[in-house]
Amino acid sequence: MTGVKAVTIVDVGPRDGFQPIGPFIPTDQKLTTIRQLHAAGLRRIEATAFVSDVAVPQLADAATIVQATQDLDGLEVQVLVPNLRHTERALAAGATRLAFVLSVSEKHNMNNVRRTPLDSVAEYARICAMLPEGVAMRINLATAFDCPFDGPVDPAEALDIIARVAAIKPDAELCLCDTTGRVTPDRVAALLGTARSRHPEVAQWAFHGHDTYGLGVANVIAATTAGLTVIDASVAGLGGCPFAPGATGNVATEDVVWTLERMGISTGIDLMALIAVAGEAAKLPGATAGGRVRDALVATLCRQEA
């Protein structure tokens, strides 16, 4: 154990969770969820993404979301960007924390952004070169452990991409993503341990896990045991997995909070307030919700009140 006493949870539900939902969620409803998450104690939320409105119509209101959340005290609003053009849109809307995504796996990167991983690395370098003062950057390395097309990713491939992006902007937050949810805790700990030892210059590391195979919380524990203090999760486990229809996707924020707090690791989040938000989010038409803690605590409260 490395003695992690507190973590920052980045709730990605309003972006990663809402993104695959078919029926358009009214902008005011999205903003209500973000404000409720903030009231529950979240201080960093991935609120939206600047992407093609045609490809992802659910996020067509990205500029409005960014502008309407700037008044929330202490909240860092993170937005995902896939390329330079959409980065410029995000900056024009007032975004101050960006998350650029590229995949270690060539097949996944080609499927996702129509580029090779090295082409995406070059695009990331161009974005970093034009960032204005005061804008924070995160680099999300998707398929760092496993590819939906090719299966397990060779750690050497991930380490090569990690070295390339770390050299471009070492003060960026570097997030390793288990895109498929198929990685096991031992592999999470091994890759994070090697990457951190090789790149002490990286200012901050993060982990983004999925719960498709029920390993989301276990992998979060592996990441915190490896010393990470920034963890992604999604309210109500929203997100789904496009490569496993019907499966849950992102690890549920409430599951992560419940587990870490019981381990003595502070999250700064009011669990019962979060449960209330998660209950409403799980009811969204077209949503694929996951997680266990929400249902367990609600059932316990019902029994106590009976």
Tell me whether strands 151-152 and 146-147 are parallel, antiparallel or unpaired: antiparallel
The residue annotated as part of the active site, out of 128, 147, 175, 241, is 241
Please check whether residue 79 is in contact with residue 97, taking contact to mean a CB–CB distance below 8 angstroms: yes
Nearest to 48 by CA among 247, 39, 33, 40: 33
DSSP classification of residue 175: E
What kind and span of H or E run contains 45? strand 44-49
Please check whether residue 236 is in contact with residue 294, taking contact to mean a CB–CB distance below 8 angstroms: yes
Residue 128 among the catalytic residues: no
**Rounded CA gap, 225 and 263, in Å?**
11
Q: How far is CA 23 from CA 56, 225, 267, in A?
A: 12, 39, 32
What kind and span of H or E run contains 107? helix 106-113
Residues tagged active-site: 241
